[in-house]
Amino acid sequence: MDSQVKYLLSLGAIRDRAKIVEDVAKSGKLNHFDLHEDRLSEVADFVTSIIKRDYGPDKYDTIPPHGRWQHFEVGNVPRVADMIQAWKNAGCDDLELTRRLIDLFFVSVLLDAGAGDHWRYVEPGTDQTYERSEGIAVASLHMFNSLAFTTTKSGTTPMVDGKGLEGLTTEALSAGFQVTDSNPMLGVSSRAALLRSLGQSLLSHTDVFGAEGRPGKLVDYMVSTAGDSKKLDILVFWDILQNLLIPIWPKDRTAINGMPIGDAWPLGILRNKATSPDSTGSAEHIQPFHKLTQWLTYSLMVPFQRVLGMEWINAESLTALPEYRNGGLFVDFGVLALKEEALSRGLKASGGDLPIFDAGDDVIVEWRAVTLVLIDAVYKMILTRLDDGTHLSLAQCLEAGTWKSGREIAAKRRPETKSSPILINSDGTVF
């Protein structure tokens, strides 16, 4: 693999490049945003208040890491716990339990891009209505249990396999997600295509996922790497996921020397700083994020911990997730403000009250890069504001703090749509 590509696919490159952006931001020379660092304290106060409201003063240790598990239990319904108990009653051991959870989480996370402001899912059997990430989680769980993602349609063993994903039609996904003209979801065809591509990639990596291309076989592979230590390495895990997922992303993404690099984008700030800014083969001007792969990593870590009692090392290499909830938090609090040119262009494109940009627009890439920097800064500030002796991991802070706070302030500012303050043209697979 090209050394530049290998670097851009690594976790280390994400913060390395964001550090360059941080220096530019602090000098007041961002291309599209004005940074008001003096307002960061207000953000830290707000996020801390949300964490204390929900978990203080003595439940901080119950904060789950940022991941998919808790989305399945929206409405205080223990869907995952109930499934696990049913599987145990049927004689399922812990390894197979973990395989099944990895199967489910894998597909559900890759489906979990913004659904839009109008889509809703009515859960069969309860008639409860859910939206956004939680709605996608519940819908994907019901599809999983109905054997929608496997070729093995007989019996009652839910699983995911490569052939089942390869054959998934847009119509089947639309039906499972209750998509209609009056209940539209962004990018349904793109999501179905992504899962079909995932199926093909799983089947081509038999060393990890077996001949059937089952995501859950990742459990066996990772357990074998731990030996007797019960310790799993995030960096090993990351390389496996990148090798699997890079080939499945849309083909119009950024490439270096003909090799695709996933959720990594040219950024004007980095091009200005590059030593060879005009070189088409240069990777110096690329800011990687790999947000969906990181979201998947955070989510898949949890079953290994909760069910198998294993420990992850090098987890601090993971970053914040540069998506519209974390990024919107800073815009809504005025830490970031669009410069006039960008704002005018975005409003003209939307024809409404909120600016909109394509996912690869330099405005969005800059916004995401600065979000990484600001989350790291606010995380440190939050730790100083919590009760004595309380320490949260970044993953816990994302879950109970910044992501939730971004969602809450959006709902307060824009109650009708609960949307981000900056909109992104997305095909349902970008973030």
pLDDT at 429 over 70: no
Distance CA 117, CA 112 (A): 14
DSSP code, position 399:
I
pLDDT at 276 over 70: no
Torsion angle, alpha carbons of 186, 188, 191, 192, to 10: 180
Q: Among residues 125, 134, 15, 7, which one has the least CA distance to residue 69?
A: 134
pLDDT at 406 over 90: yes
Residue with the two structure tokens 């070729």: 151
**Lookup: tokens for 155:** 């019996």
- Surface-to-core class of residue 345, CB atoms within 10 Å of its CB (0-12 exposed, 13-18 middle, 19+ buried): middle
pLDDT at 279 over 60: no
pLDDT at 90 over 70: yes
pLDDT at 118 over 80: yes
Peptide linkage before 57 cis (omega within 30 of 0): yes
Q: Tens of pLDDT along 166-198?
A: 999 999 999 999 999 999 988 899 899 999 999
Q: Tens of pLDDT along 224-272?
A: 999 889 999 999 999 999 999 999 887 778 888 888 899 999 999 999 8
Distance CA 425, CA 113 (A): 12
Average pLDDT, the chain: 92
**Lookup: tokens for 144:** 């999983």
Contact 365, 422 (CB under 8 A): no
Q: Tens of pLDDT along 327-386?
A: 999 999 999 999 999 999 999 999 989 999 999 999 999 999 999 999 999 999 999 999
pTM above 0.85, yes or no: yes
List, in order, residues 6 or more apart from 171 with CB less than 8 Å away. Answer: none
Predicted local distance difference test score (pLDDT) of residue 150:
95
Predicted local distance difference test score (pLDDT) of residue 280:
47
Give the pLDDT band of residue 36 (cuts 50, 70, 90): very high
